[in-house]
């Protein structure tokens, strides 16, 4: 455009492997060896490779990017530590948002209501049983070979085989269209840093979380020697089927 008010827009970024990002993160997160620890109770200087603490880098939706356990990368942090994630939600650092999937597939309920005619009278059942018996008896007569009684030399032995039809499959394997609701969690950027102590029976878990400047990432340091899984179950993102009242 030739207008003097035109502005050229561009996006600048950098791409790196997870290994490079991890190495830089661990190096920056470690306190130097000459740190003044005279007024500090506990382990000092702190390093993320210590067995006493667990360090995480998570994004603004609570998914783990960096952890000492490589299998945690890509997982939702609430599934790893429900106590800390529950506390962050209560403190307002994360808020829960409900999302809906209107093109989901759900397992058919085995106790779903059927549109078939109910058995209003026992005669319906008796008539159905009699009809089934007669049809199978006629089919038996059509398929039975009476010549076999006199000419058995024309027959060969055959192994019995069994086949499972689709009607005998588990009803839970059948999927049907449905609407589902699943939770999502969003970071509140107005809270730059926070810390707390979680009481878990016989122990207390301390943690501190801080926003990494100029990014949508958070650094989270958690005390690792206190298990709170019995008091705080994991927070999952499993979808739930939406039931409509018609």
pLDDT digits (tens, 9 = 90+) for 156-174: 555 555 444 444 455 446 8
Average pLDDT, integer, range 22-47: 76
Closest CA to 236 of 69, 82, 102: 82
Q: Phi and psi for 82 in degrees, rounded to 5?
A: -70, -25
Peptide bond into 45 cis (omega under 30): yes
Answer whether 0.85 is exceeded by the pTM: no
**What CATH class does 50-96+186-225 carry?**
alpha beta
* Position 113 pLDDT exceeds 70: no
Average pLDDT, integer, range 225-241: 90
DSSP state of 147: G
Residue 198 CB burial class (10 angstroms; 0-12, 13-18, ≥19) = buried
pLDDT per residue as tens digits for the range 43-79: 677 778 888 889 999 999 999 999 998 899 999 999 9
Domain ranges of the chain: 50-96+186-225
Cα atoms in the Cβ-side hemisphere of radius 13 Å centred on 99: 12
* Better-scored residue on pLDDT, 238 or 16: 238
Whole-angstrom distance, CA of residue 173 vs CA of residue 176: 10
């Amino acid at each position: 455009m030739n207008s003097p008010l035109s502005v050229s827009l561009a996006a600048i970024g950098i791409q790196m492997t997870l290994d490079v990002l991890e190495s830089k993160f661990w190096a920056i997160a470690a306190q130097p060896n000459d740190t003044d620890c005279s007024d500090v109770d506990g382990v000092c200087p702190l390093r993320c490779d210590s067995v006493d603490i667990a360090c995480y880098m998570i994004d603004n939706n609570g998914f783990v990017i960096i952890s000492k356990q490589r299998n945690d990368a890509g997982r939702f942090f609430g599934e790893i530590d429900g106590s800390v994630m529950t506390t962050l939600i209560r403190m307002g650092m994360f808020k829960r948002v409900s999302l809906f999937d209107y093109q989901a597939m759900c397992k058919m309920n085995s106790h779903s209501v059927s549109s078939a005619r109910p058995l209003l009278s026992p005669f319906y059942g008796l008539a159905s049983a009699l009809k089934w018996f007669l049809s199978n008896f006629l089919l038996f007569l059509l398929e039975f070979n009476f010549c076999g009684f006199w000419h058995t030399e024309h027959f060969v032995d055959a192994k019995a085989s069994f086949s499972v039809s689709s009607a005998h499959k588990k009803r839970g394997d059948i999927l049907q269209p449905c609407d589902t609701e699943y939770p999502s969690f969003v970071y509140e950027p107005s809270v730059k840093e926070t810390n707390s102590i979680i009481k878990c029976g016989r122990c207390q878990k301390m943690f501190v979380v801080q926003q990494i400047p100029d990014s949508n990432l958070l650094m989270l340091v958690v005390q690792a020697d206190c298990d709170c899984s019995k008091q705080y179950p994991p927070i999952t993102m499993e979808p739930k089927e939406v039931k409509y009242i018609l």
